Amino acid sequence: MKVLVIGSGGREHAIVWKLAQSRVVDKIYCVPGNAGISDIAECVEVESKNLSSLLDFVKYEWIDLTVVGPEDPLAHGIVDIFEKDGRKIIGPTKAAAQLESSKVFAKDFMKRHKIPTADYKVFTSYTHAEEYIRLKGTPIVIKAEGLAAGKGVFVCQNYDEAIDALKLIMKEKIFGSAGDRVVIEECLQGKEVSYLVFTDGKHIIPMVTSKDHKRLLDKDEGPNTGGMGTFSPNPIITPELEKDIIENIIKPTIRGLKLEGIIYKGILYAGLMIINNKPYVLEFNCRFGDPETQVILPRLETDLVDIFMAIAEQRLNKVEIKWKADASLCVILASEGYPGKYKKGIPISGLDMVKGLEDVMVFHAGTKFNEEGQIVTNGGRVLGITALGKDIKEARQKAYNAVELINFQGMQYRKDIGLNI
């Protein structure tokens, strides 16, 4: 069996790594991939934004299954194009992906279907938005409506911060047309959790729980990032809370979409705030989270291809999904300057020293080979160091021991992942 994975980050490396363990997979391609992925898959330079080129590649290579990592191709309708041609692909259609690609669609959808979320208002006018902030007061959350690579959300503690965020989105257009509309919503205070499920549009199977650390610095300080580390399981999610999440958020979402003529197939990720043991939706993502995938997939015992094929064929209820009892933890190593401007092409040392470590996986995010064949930095988030252990404490120890062996100029990372559970 031949499989294509689309994407170039740590999430995609984790997906490729898991697919490589499948008993039925003979060949994996990745578009465009990275230096780490090239160890286990053939990285191919196909313009991933050109969806017809991707389809041509799949036809030419007789690829049996395509897995979409990032949100952009989903938002642009890759699933619709592939399915129209009879190709198996994992991910929701363009209409279903609006849950992520349009925050206005998502908020309005939740309102229609009584799914718990923060109160909000939508603005196209900077003046009206500024006036609303003045009236509502702070803290307040300001979101660019469209896709912004995980950086379009501003949690503002005071009026000046809120106005600065509004200017960046609506006047300076740092996210381009994604900032044509803004969602301004109440700031929910509680415990943030990530909750992911597999779904074929009829059936839902939860993944193991995880916790993401969005802020750049220890103690959850500094700017928001795409994620600086994760661990699994998340002890905040009790069996009672999990039942609440499934019954009051996940099921109503899949059911609500179906009522609106949209069948959701793939991975659904709910970013939640837990307040007084009740879940509220902060955001939906329509694919695996990054870096949640880097702690979830190492705990998966079932062949990932079996799950994907069951999703594609709407028979997910026929697959028994098993998970390891081990805990897992991931520490992200980032470039100096991230999440702002950063340099690329900085040599990375110590990767060979980590290769032999038991229960430790290095998932490449922003890496490439330079002209001399060295692995160098090629992004803001560079590597994700993941470890398994009998509990989070042991996984944490193994992960940070491995981090100590790796170095590149300006390397920054959080020291408190999994510390204050």
Q: CA-CA distance, 21 to 220, in Å (whole number)?
A: 35
| Predicted pLDDT at 420 | 77
278 located within any domain: yes
**Predicted confidence (pLDDT) at residue 413 exceeds the cutoff of 70:** yes
| Predicted pLDDT at 185 | 96
Residues 288, 239 share a domain: yes
Enter the tokens of residue 291.
């870096």
Residues 44, 155 share a domain: no
Residue type (1 letter), 415: K
Enter the tokens of residue 79.
């699933």
Residue 298 · residue 235 · CB < 8 Å: no
Q: DSSP letters along 222-257, please?
A: EEE-S-SEEEES-TT--HHHHHHHIIIIIHHHHHHH
| Predicted pLDDT at 152 | 85
Q: What is the CATH number of the domain that holds 224?
A: 3.30.470.20
For the segment 334-341, the average pLDDT, to the nearest whole number, is 95
Residues 200, 287 share a domain: yes
- Give residue for tokens 């970013």: 271
Bridge partners of 65, per DSSP, are 3
The chain-wide mean pLDDT, for the chain, equals 95
Lowest-confidence region among 197-201, 223-227, 293-297 = 223-227
DSSP H or E run through 236: none
Q: DSSP letters along 329-352, please?
A: EEEEEE-TTTTS------B-B-HH
Cα radius of gyration rounded to whole Å, the chain: 21
**Predicted confidence (pLDDT) at residue 305 exceeds the cutoff of 90:** yes
Enter the tokens of residue 71.
């949100």
Cβ neighbours of residue 193 under 8 Å, at least 6 residues apart?
209, 210, 211, 234, 236, 237, 271, 272, 273, 274, 279
Share of the chain above pLDDT 90, in %: 92
Q: Using one digit for the tens of pLDDT, what is the confidence trace for 162-174? A: 999 999 999 999 8
Residues 282, 201 share a domain: yes
For the segment 179-200, the average pLDDT, to the nearest whole number, is 94
Residue 53 · residue 6 · CB < 8 Å: no
254 located within any domain: yes
Binned at pLDDT 50, 70 and 90, residue 330 comes out as: very high
Look up the pTM and report it: 0.94
Residue 315 · residue 376 · CB < 8 Å: no
Which 8-state DSSP code applies to residue 415?
Answer: S
Residues 288, 195 share a domain: yes
Residues 284, 305 share a domain: yes
| Predicted pLDDT at 47 | 75
111 located within any domain: no
Q: CA-CA distance, 196 to 193, in Å (whole number)?
A: 10
Binned at pLDDT 50, 70 and 90, residue 95 comes out as: very high
For the segment 146-150, the average pLDDT, to the nearest whole number, is 79
116 located within any domain: no
Domains: count for the chain = 4
Q: CA-CA distance, 148 to 154, in Å (whole number)?
A: 12
Q: What is the CATH number of the domain that holds 391?
A: 3.90.600.10
Domain span at 141: 125-180
Residues 314, 276 share a domain: yes
For the segment 4-9, the average pLDDT, to the nearest whole number, is 97
Alpha-carbon distances of 296 from 169, 307, 338, 398, 419, rounded to whole Å: 33, 14, 25, 17, 19
418 located within any domain: no
375 located within any domain: yes
Looking at 152, 180, 208, the residue that finishes a domain is 180
Q: What is the CATH number of the domain that holds 158?
A: 3.30.1490.20
Q: DSSP letters along 266-285, please?
A: EEEEEEEEEETTEEEEEEEE
Which 8-state DSSP code applies to residue 316?
Answer: G
**Predicted confidence (pLDDT) at residue 48 exceeds the cutoff of 70:** no
Residues 398, 285 share a domain: no
Q: Using one digit for the tens of pLDDT, what is the confidence trace for 389-406? A: 999 999 999 999 999 999
Share of the chain above pLDDT 70, in %: 99
Enter the tokens of residue 400.
């940070």
